[in-house]
DNA sequence: GCATATTATGGTATCGTTACCATATACGCA
DNA sequence: TGCGTATATGGTAACGATACCATAATATGC
């Protein structure tokens, strides 16, 4: 493999001059450019980014660490990050922590080793240790989607509490009183916020949901299925479900189908996070959709501004609203008798 | 940020000794190990992979270049690659070419710059130029999912031709005669193979499908929708559709719904590539499923064996069978009258 | 008891690039 | 004419790690 020195020799110039032509920096004549470019083409020279990164102490690489790459919500986030990063001349590395703190730690360590310039992190845990680790290693980080207690860092997320509140309000307006919460993992802020929004709406309506109606599990289809089954065995049965994310909603639909219950005729269902039309042959879920792409883009822009040494001195907390999308699954107003 | 030299100074040894402890190579005493590890912990030292890679000429990094990260088929492939690679101590970088040859080229160039040790490539084009580029730059490559004419390289893919043949056979056995093909891009081998399988099955049944029944488009929901609409306007209408991939099938379902036609009662539908249950609230498509994970794992193992300098001298071509999964969308045998 | 392995450690050069500083010519303007 | 500035190019060192070779102490074999 040809090096910059080989190119220099062939073009009859010094390596540093080749470097200038490649990076279009400093001064060089048109004649020099031509002979250098000819030499590069002839040798099939490709610059070595390891060497460049080592010398420059910058790799023009960002990383996105997320918790579930199979979830379309995060696929959309990934897309948003990549778009903005590429525009600015950065490459993005994607890592999947699988909701495991250990894996997250392993990846962050790797990313520091790889000298990425900055990291976008969807944290698995509510504790700030991993954030501190990055800061100790001079790696700027922007937290995405979830908050972390005591973390001194920039953060871009959605208002999950308000989103859940709106969804429950909708159900209340439709006449529902026994509303079940199919919640996410207890340690995760989005899950906690959605639960809080649910409780606030219920409390304001003067309702104290039975403990059997308030479940917590994981952000998976299986967990949604299991929570729905559990809630359905309670008496009296709920008339509506709030699913804390899209996968939980899918699991709940499965459970309801199995029990011979129809959505929304027997049970109303509302959820969090939209599913892209590409993947839904029958889009019918009423949801509080988070602006995934927008969120990702803002976070990336914030990170890039940090890398450029710009932006406000204090850490930013950007909170975006969710959007209520009405479809069939929330159903019609129900008769009082039920 | 601490360097290996800082650690060496603190531990009272030479940098090379620290290197030995970190990599567990060569000889060193237990006492040395202890003092080095203490120094590493105290300083929060993290090795610099750029420097290591530059010196070793190996980065322990693989790359997977695929054509559509939003397609669950490729998400599964990504998972399979990562699992095997991680086990072997490799990191994987994912790149999304978006079915664009130009983007693919750009990514391959970047990956060579980044000195990745090997590449798994789902090629967008049927031409071998990009493969040659990698080979010129000493980057081993395994082609995945699609074949490339004249490419001198290892390849792992599925038998799309046989899969399509089976699907059409199924439809023929159910009594269908006017079977429409909603095909993929003409330049892509999987699309061509599926079309060939369709034609072979039809020909063996003594059928010559009207040209209006044989469409080609792209592997997207929109294209599936459009092709289905076009085919539906033909007279006489087909009684069954073969969709060349999962997204095309979803688009076709949309078009049929809009036209007030039900699947499978009015039109039978079979497709290629399964959709994960996580994403399908109502799994009902009969498909020829490609063993995505298995394929990815075999390809990765092959690549790793090349990196280790093992394996047979000739290029391998591994072809895996598809699996026919029967669900509702293919419907029941139809009366002869139709 | 001496030759030869084995174990333990270090010095120096090097990977391929660019930062920094130096040098040299050409050009514009007082 | 002279001086400052813009243009053009190069030499040397350095980024942080490890390959390679060297050295020395201890262990082992006959």
A338 domain-assigned: no
CB–CB of B146/B192 below 8 Å? no
Nearest-5° Cα angle at B256, B252 to B257: 115
State the alpha helices, DSSP H only, in chain A.
4-11, 15-23, 30-43, 49-56, 72-87, 101-113, 129-136, 160-173, 189-204, 221-232, 246-258, 292-307
Query: Please, which residues bridge with residue B269 across strands?
Result: B241
CA distance A332 to A328: 8
Q: Which nucleotide is nearest to B25 (CA to C1')?
A: D18
For residue A221, the chain B residues in CB contact (below 8 A) are: 277-278
Is A278 in contact with B221 (Cβ distance < 8 A)? Answer: yes
Chain B residue with Cα closest to A108: B46
The secondary structure of A233-253 as a DSSP string is TSSSPPSEEEESSHHHHHHHH
* pLDDT computed for residue A336 by the predictor: 58
CB–CB of A193/A184 below 8 Å? no
Q: Which helix (H) or strand (E) holds B232?
A: helix B221-232
The distance from CA A320 to its chain's CA centroid, rounded to whole angstroms, is 13
Q: Are residues B101 and B176 in the same domain?
A: no
pLDDT in tens, A34-73: 999 999 999 999 999 999 999 999 999 999 999 998 888 9
B335 domain-assigned: no
Is A253 in contact with B281 (Cβ distance < 8 A)? Answer: yes
Q: Are residues A279 and A297 in the same domain?
A: no
The distance from CA B270 to its chain's CA centroid, rounded to whole angstroms, is 21
CB–CB of A109/A260 below 8 Å? no
How many Å from the CA of B29 to C1' of C6?
Answer: 13
- Helix, strand, coil shares, percent, chain A, to 5: 45, 15, 40
pLDDT in tens, B202-211: 999 999 999 9
Q: Is the pLDDT of residue B232 over 80?
A: yes
Query: Averaged over A231-259, what is the pLDDT?
Result: 93
Q: Supply the CATH number for residue A13's domain.
A: 1.10.260.40
Name the band, by pLDDT with cuts 50, 70 and 90, for residue B38: very high
CA distance B332 to B265: 8
A307 domain-assigned: yes
Q: Are residues B128 and B148 in the same domain?
A: yes
Q: Supply the CATH number for residue A214's domain.
A: 3.40.50.2300
pLDDT in tens, B124-144: 988 899 999 999 999 999 999
Give the gap in angstroms from C-alpha B107 to the nearest C-alpha of chain A: 10
- Structural domains of chain A, count: 3
CB–CB of B142/B303 below 8 Å? yes
Q: Is the pLDDT of residue A280 over 80?
A: no
User: Which class for A285: exposed (0-12), middle (13-18), buried (19 or more C-beta within 10 A)?
Assistant: buried
Query: Whole domain around residue A36: which residue ranges?
Result: 4-47
* pLDDT computed for residue B281 by the predictor: 62
B337 domain-assigned: no
Is B70 in contact with A136 (Cβ distance < 8 A)? Answer: no
The secondary structure of B106-137 as a DSSP string is HHHHHHHHTT-SEEEE--SSS-SHHHHHHHHT
CA distance B275 to A234: 33
The secondary structure of B43-56 as a DSSP string is HT----HHHHHHHH
CB–CB of A76/A276 below 8 Å? yes
A144 domain-assigned: yes
Q: Count the residues in chain A.
A: 338
C-beta atoms surrounding B338 within 10 Å: 10
* pLDDT computed for residue A281 by the predictor: 62
Query: Averaged over A264-283, what is the pLDDT?
Result: 84
Q: Are residues B145 and B203 in the same domain?
A: no
* pLDDT computed for residue B337 by the predictor: 46
B53 domain-assigned: no
Q: Are residues A195 and A252 in the same domain?
A: yes
Mean per-residue pLDDT over chain B, rounded: 94
* pLDDT computed for residue B336 by the predictor: 58
Q: Examine residue A236 and say whether the peptide bond preceding it is cis (omega within 30 degrees of 0).
A: yes
CA atoms within 13 A on the CB side of B185: 14
Q: Are residues A274 and A168 in the same domain?
A: yes
Q: Are residues A102 and A198 in the same domain?
A: no
Mean per-residue pLDDT over chain A, rounded: 93
Chain A residue with Cα closest to B98: A79
- Look at the pTM and tell me if it is higher than 0.75: yes
pLDDT in tens, A119-151: 999 999 888 999 999 999 999 999 999 999 888
Q: Which of B173, B167, B185 is nearest to B269 (CA)?
A: B167
Nearest-5° Cα angle at A142, A141 to A143: 115
Q: Is the pLDDT of residue B299 over 70?
A: yes
Nearest-5° Cα angle at B13, B9 to B18: 90
Give the gap in angstroms from C-alpha B207 to the nearest C-alpha of chain A: 31
pLDDT in tens, B47-64: 999 999 999 999 999 999
C-beta atoms surrounding A314 within 10 Å: 8
A53 domain-assigned: no
The secondary structure of B142-198 as a DSSP string is EEESS--TT--SEEEEE-HHHHHHHHHHHHHHTT--SEEEEE--TTSHHHHHHHHHH
* pLDDT computed for residue B177 by the predictor: 95
A135 domain-assigned: yes
Q: Are residues B178 and B257 in the same domain?
A: yes
Q: Are residues A175 and A152 in the same domain?
A: no
Q: Which nucleotide is nearest to A11 (CA to C1')?
A: D9
Is B50 in contact with A115 (Cβ distance < 8 A)? Answer: yes
Q: Is the pLDDT of residue B338 over 60?
A: no
Q: Are residues A73 and A139 in the same domain?
A: yes
Give the burial string for B1-17 (b: 16+ CB within 10 Å, else e): ebbbebbbbbbebeeeb
Nearest to A113 among B46, B109, B279 (CB): B46
Q: Is the pLDDT of residue B154 over 90?
A: yes
Comparing A147-151, A277-281, B21-25, the range with the smallest average pLDDT is: A277-281
Q: Are residues B205 and B299 in the same domain?
A: no
* pLDDT computed for residue B234 by the predictor: 87
Angle at which helices A49-56 and B49-56 cross, to 10°: 140
Q: CA separation (Å) from A174 to A169, A170, B6, B143, B216?
A: 9, 6, 67, 55, 47
Q: Are residues B225 and B130 in the same domain?
A: no
């Amino acid at each position: 493999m040809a090096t910059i020195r080989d190119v220099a020799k062939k073009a009859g110039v010094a390596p540093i001059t080749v470097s200038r032509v490649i990076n279009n920096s400093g001064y060089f004549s048109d004649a020099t450019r031509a002979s250098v470019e000819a030499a590069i083409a002839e040798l099939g020279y490709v610059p070595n980014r390891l060497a460049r990164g080592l010398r420059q102490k910058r790799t023009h690489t960002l990383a996105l660490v997320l918790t579930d790459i199979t979830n379309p919500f995060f696929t959309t986030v990934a897309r948003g990050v990549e778009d903005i990063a590429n525009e600015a001349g950065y490459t993005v590395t994607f890592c999947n922590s699988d909701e495991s703190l250990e894996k997250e730690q392993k990846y962050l360590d790797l990313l520091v080793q790889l000298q990425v310039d900055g990291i976008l992190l969807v944290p698995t845990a509510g504790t700030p240790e991993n954030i501190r680790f990055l800061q100790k290693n001079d790696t700027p980080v922007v937290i995405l989607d979830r908050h972390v207690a005591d973390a001194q860092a920039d953060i871009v997320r959605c208002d999950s509490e308000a989103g859940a509140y709106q969804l429950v309000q909708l159900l209340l307006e439709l006449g529902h009183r026994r509303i079940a919460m199919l919640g996410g993992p207890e340690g995760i802020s989005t899950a906690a916020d959605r639960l809080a929004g649910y409780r606030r709406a219920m409390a304001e309506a003067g309702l104290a949901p039975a403990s059997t109606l308030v479940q917590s599990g994981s952000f998976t289809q299986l967990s949604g299925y299991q929570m729905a089954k559990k809630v359905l065995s309670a008496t009296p049965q709920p008339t509506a479900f709030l699913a804390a994310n899209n996968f939980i909603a899918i699991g709940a639909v499965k459970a309801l189908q199995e029990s011979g219950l129809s959505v929304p005729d027997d049970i109303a269902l509302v959820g969090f996070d939209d599913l892209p039309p590409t993947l839904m042959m029958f889009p019918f879920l009423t949801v509080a959709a988070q602006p995934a792409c927008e969120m990702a883009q803002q976070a990336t822009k914030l990170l890039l501004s940090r890398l450029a040494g710009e932006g406000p001195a204090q850490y930013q907390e950007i909170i975006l609203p969710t959007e209520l999308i009405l479809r069939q699954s929330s159903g019609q107003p129900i008769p009082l008798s039920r």
